[in-house]
Structure 1
Amino acid sequence: MSEPTERRAPFPPFTRETAIQKVRLAEDGWNSRDAAKVSLAYTPDTQWRNRAEFINGRAEAEAFLTRKWRKELDYRLIKELWAVEANRIAVRYAYEWHDDAGNWFRSYGNENWEFDDNGLMFNRYACINDMPIKESERKFHWPLGRRPDDHPGLSELGL
């Protein structure tokens, strides 16, 4: 799995509070849209299933994220803890984005995460559905980057 020098707090076993911290850190990372930086949260031998795509290793994860954020423009994501047990976290999330033709989407999904003892994710299983929306139906209006602390989460937005 990960090399001993790579560590990313909080570490398992997770409590509800540390799992919420881990979820927010993941959300913040993905909202940065910095594929190289985000990929460092995963073990070198990480395994993902993202929709119908299977990703093996950190290098493939970084390439996947680079492709993703070239296609999904003005990407804004909110994640919410669903469940936690030991070194596993389940989240639900939604993100808004548009394509290069200006068509807006809200993508809804669930992820199951599994972490090593150093707090790096080695398994990520994602199921995602895209729903076309009108630009006027958008709910995520913060400037690109980290979601402000006072911006409503998924439950508060009724999502």
Structure 2
Amino acid sequence: MSATSTPPHTPRPPFPPFDEASALAKVQAAEDAWNTRDPERVALAYTEDSVWRNRDTFVTGRPAIVEFLRAKWARELDYALRKELWSYTGNRIAVRFQYESHDATGQWWRSYGNELWEFTDDGLMRRREAGIHDVAITESERRIFGPRPESEKGLLLPVR
């Protein structure tokens, strides 16, 4: 199967309606997946016709999500992400996040944002809306080094 062909439908627990524990688990699963920087793996968490708004870019469908993520991680090198549950209700979750990466020139960036997620009954995300703002940082200002260690799962993100 090619990276852009549609894989068999696979439910993705936890399922809505979300309670605090299941919402926290869904957020951690998303963080863990995105930190793999594997577009094909990440795209499997979305419906085949999932609709995204990411900054000023609109993406629809898994093949487009895979291509979007390939381009993203080709630009955003050494990407490392932290997500935090903000709110949940029914089949929706809101998160805040931070990630750090550097560009091809070596400039480091910390990107802050919020995401709104909507899920199907089988736990796949059908809608993702992300607002993101970038701040140039020096390498010495970095605070996110790879995937979150087990000992830090569930901890809140620094506000600064």
TM-score of the superposition, structure 2-length normalised? 0.91
Q: What is the Cα deviation at residue 151 of structure 1?
A: 3.3
Equivalent residue for 1:80?
A: 84
Q: Are 1:122 and 2:126 an aligned pair? A: yes
Structure 2, unpaired ranges of 5+: 1-6
Q: What is the Cα deviation at residue 155 of structure 1?
A: 2.9
Equivalent residue for 1:12?
A: 16
Matching residue's letter, 1:113: W
Distance 1:87 1:152, change over 3 A: closer
Matching residue's letter, 1:14: F
For residues 97-130 of structure 1, give each alpha carbon's deviation from its aligned partner in whole angstroms, at most 9, with x where no partner exists. Answer: 0001100000000000000001000000000000
Q: Are 1:105 and 2:109 an aligned pair? A: yes
Distance 1:119 1:135, change over 3 A: same
What is the number of equivalent residue pairs in this alignment? Answer: 155
**Aligned-residue CA RMSD in angstroms?**
1.9
Q: What is the Cα deviation at residue 157 of structure 1?
A: 3.2
Q: Percent identity?
A: 53
- Structure 2 distance, partners of 1:127, 1:43, is 21
Equivalent residue for 2:152?
A: 151
Query: Deviating runs (4+, > 6 A) in structure 1?
Result: none
Q: What is the Cα deviation at residue 150 of structure 1?
A: 1.7
Q: Are 1:93 and 2:94 an aligned pair? A: no
TM-score of the superposition, structure 1-length normalised? 0.92
Q: What is the Cα deviation at residue 152 of structure 1?
A: 7.1
Secondary structure of the structure 1 residue equivalent to 2:152: coil
- Structure 1 distance, partners of 2:127, 2:58, is 11
- Structure 2 distance, partners of 1:122, 1:66, is 20
Secondary structure of the structure 2 residue equivalent to 1:32: coil
Instruction: Please tell me whether the aligned partners of residues 110 and 135 of structure 2 are also in contact (alpha carbons under 8 angstroms).
Output: yes
